[in-house]
Structure 1
């Protein structure tokens, strides 16, 4: 037997039932449908953000977040050189200049010291992205931004429903973005959401987006297919977590490949003074991280390329990590520092898609064995 990757987007009966219900009721064709309202309410509860705007994509949500806080020509926005490439384009779309900082050594998250050392009179915002099951240091970042009068835009596109440093991902920033793209853990083909706990931000984005119809809409059908996925998000998170912990365990024994994704509490969960774990706490941990992809860092690019090639031959959805922006032209961005860690991640990093993490039982065992053979 060989590993068979679970199908994503999901083909659950409840999605079909919801779609049929929407079509028969006519809700699918309304500007403001019941599905829209229900989805907004569920996202607000999930993220603990009181203001939610459904958008046409996560990339559009990032750009609108920047425009909402007043980013424009002559301004600068800090972000990691290792990030989703669309974020640098969102900054450029506003007329502002990206300022690139590096990630911490063998990490996926931006270096806080560099963020502070990159300051200038032109900086107005920082974009912090939660990537590959790891969380940006959003608590300290929010303190830095508040100190300098900057705005924090939190990119939670990969991790809806996650808890980042004790709070829902998306609730740390002045504004935040989610994505419902075709590959995402909440999938509608396209789509996204803009989040904030500041009613002034909501007033600003509504003034831009309503003309009077919505210029960046999420359709009623898209909202409809997302609702059953939200209902099962915690269940899916637990399945992904259980696969990820097995992959982390086998990766700890390897010398040429390093595991990068976070699994707080590991398999045993938090323990009390007697060394006992509360099963409910363990379950909560497993349900509170939404893994879009899990990541490794190979010792060199040759090993990374070999793993990616062999995985493709085996039908396992492994691919290279994001391309670093460290080579970005000085005409497009400001680079106050060398960016070696971002380059290393780009050249040697690789990721496994969340669809594979949904494997269960015998299929999960086959996946873990296949990954072990790839990494050895």
Structure 2
């Protein structure tokens, strides 16, 4: 057994320091100072929100982009712009953040939770088609962690049945599918810029569409019902709210965009090496990247633990996560809890969702059957993108996996509550 002990047991970790995220410096400070000095802190009067909208549209190859307060609001406004409401069903993957389905609830539509493909971790087109009814109006395709769903299959289904396709791209800035930027295939697409995302302002989001009428509706919905500049034909006044991004957030995003291309390339290089190391380990399996994924999302590396592998045997996945977290000096966590059992997805906790007894029953997440989601949750090991940006990160995971394999006996004893063998 090597003399070097696992970091979990007091040894030196593979990664010397925790990652610094978000990366920032004088440029962010300068741009924030400019907002402070010119006094234009709102979308009304400022130019930074619109500048970011143009820049982000070019980055993703998408149509009109409208900045909003956060990614969940982006999804809610997408549903409202489509006119979804009571009686309408929206198909949502069971493995996603609670806000994805919550945004559908807040439009008074019914989120229909369907299982994912166990290889890609994303929406299974066959499960989507099986879940359709005469009430189905839209499908939400989530780009999850470092993978993408079969966009063309989902787009073909949506076209065949006359449905809207909404892309949830919070994890996918910079990602591409056969030349298409993430968000450019769907009827509408939504992005979030929260603290954990690869492009961040702490909070914030945007919603995008190539449809001028939908763009006009979105503009009114985010801005108190005000008519958009150059209102497209067919636009009508509608009830809106204040869901605007601030100029402070847009300034940070513009500065972060200057860093983004190099960060994306770095994540892509490191992820490629980490996927190889995970496969070679024999006890971790990366989520499948379909051949059409030209540039994968860089939000995280999603891995499934193989508990009956020859190397680690019956060591619990929680022990593997803890050991990797200690070596890499980042949180290593399970994936999202499936929405049918998630403690954060509780439609019945809000009386305003009790529109009728029929609706109340339809939104009960316990109705869903999500066996693949459950198995992925139980075996998942999620490595965040922040761990990929450090110098030498290419070899951090391979070295950590070698250590785990060499110290399997110690890990097994620790998990069982037995005293560790001396190192």
CA displacement at 1:338 relative to structure 2: 3.8
How far off its partner does 1:290 sit? Answer: 3.7
Residue 239 in structure 1 maps to residue 253 in structure 2 = no
SS in 1 for 2:316: helix
Q: CA deviation at 1:87?
A: 0.9
Q: Is the 8 A contact 1:97 1:334 kept in 2?
A: no
The counterpart of 2:306, out of the listed 286, 290, 299, is: 299
Structure 1 residue 30 displacement after superposition: 6.0
The residue that corresponds to 2:416 in the other structure is none
1:148 to 161, 165, 170: 161
Find the residue that maps to 2:281 and give its secondary structure.
coil
Where in structure 2 are the equivalents of 1:352-363 lying within 5 Å?
352-361=383-392
Q: Deviations over 1:97-139 (max 9, x none)?
A: 1212211233311111121121111110000000111111111
Question: Does residue 325 of the first structure (1) align with residue 339 of the second (2)?
Answer: yes
Contact 2:89–2:136 (Cα < 8 Å) also in 1:
yes
Q: TM-score, normalised by structure 1?
A: 0.87
Report how far residue 93 of structure 1 moved.
Answer: 1.4
Cα deviation 1:127-182 (Å, max 9, x = unaligned): 00001111111111111111111110000111112112320001111000011101
How is 1:199-218 mapped onto 2 (pairs within 5 angstroms)? 199-211=212-224, 215-218=242-245
After the TM superposition, which residues 143-292 of structure 1 pair with which residues of structure 2 at under 5 Å, given as runs?
A: 143-211=156-224, 215-260=242-287, 262=289, 288-292=295-299
Give 2:380's aligned residue: 349
Matching residue of 2:92: 79
From 14, 21, 27, the equivalent of 1:14 is 27
Q: Please list every run of at least 4 consecutive aligned residues from structure 1 whose deviation after the TM superposition is greater than 6 angstroms.
A: 263-266, 334-337
Match of 1:339 in 2: 370
Measured in 2, the distance between the counterparts of 1:354 and 1:75 equals 36
Q: How big is the shift at 1:264?
A: 6.2
The offset of 1:225, in angstroms, is 0.7
Stretch moving more, 337-346 or 290-299: 337-346
- Per the alignment, in what secondary structure is the counterpart of residue 232 of structure 1? helix
**Is 1:36 equivalent to 2:49 in the alignment?**
yes
State the distance in 2 between where 1:35 and 1:129 align: 28
TM-superposition CA deviations, 1:49-104 (whole Å, max 9, x none): 22111010001101111111111111111111112221111111122112122112
Greater mean deviation of Cα atoms: 152-161 or 41-50: 41-50
* Contact kept in structure 2, 1:261 and 1:295, CA below 8 Å: no
2:323 maps to: 310
Structure 2 unaligned regions, length at least 5:
1-11, 227-240, 308-313, 347-360, 409-423
Alpha-carbon offset, residue 5 of structure 1:
2.8
Q: Tell me, yes or no, if the aligned pair for 1:107 and 1:260 is still in contact at 8 Å.
A: yes
Inter-CA distance 18–372: structure 2 relative to 1 (3 Å threshold): farther
CA deviations on 1:10-40 (whole Å, 9 max, x unpaired) are 1222211222233233343563412112101
Please give the alpha-carbon distance, in whole angstroms, between the structure 1 residues aligned to 2:180 and 2:271: 22
333-342 vs 15-24, which moves further: 333-342
Q: Kindly state the Cα deviation for residue 234 of structure 1 after the two structures are TM-superposed.
A: 1.5
Q: 1:369 aligns with which of 385, 396, 399?
A: 399
Change in Cα spacing, 1:165 to 1:333, as seen in structure 2 (3 Å) is farther
- 8 A Cα contact 1:63 1:94, kept in partner: yes
What CA distance in whole angstroms lies between the structure 1 residues aligned with 2:139 and 2:290?
26
Out of 61, 76, 90, the residue aligned to residue 48 of structure 1 is 61
Distance 2:159 2:384 in 1: 35
Distance in 2 of aligned mates of 1:367 and 1:254 = 10
* Aligned residues: CA RMSD: 2.5
CA contact (8 A) 1:118 1:336 kept: no
Partner of 1:105: 118
CA displacement at 1:334 relative to structure 2? 7.3
Q: Which moved more, 1:313-322 or 1:325-334?
A: 325-334
For the pair shown, the structure with the greater C-alpha radius of gyration is 2
Report the counterpart of residue 279 of structure 1 in structure 2.
Answer: none
Instruction: Show structure 1 runs of 5+ residues with no match.
Output: 267-284
Q: Assess if the C-alpha contact under 8 Å between 1:326 and 1:342 holds in 2.
A: no
Contact kept in structure 2, 1:46 and 1:161, CA below 8 Å: yes
* Cα pair distance change 1:299/1:331, threshold 3 Å: farther
Q: Taking structure 2 as the reference length, what is the TM-score of the superposition?
A: 0.78
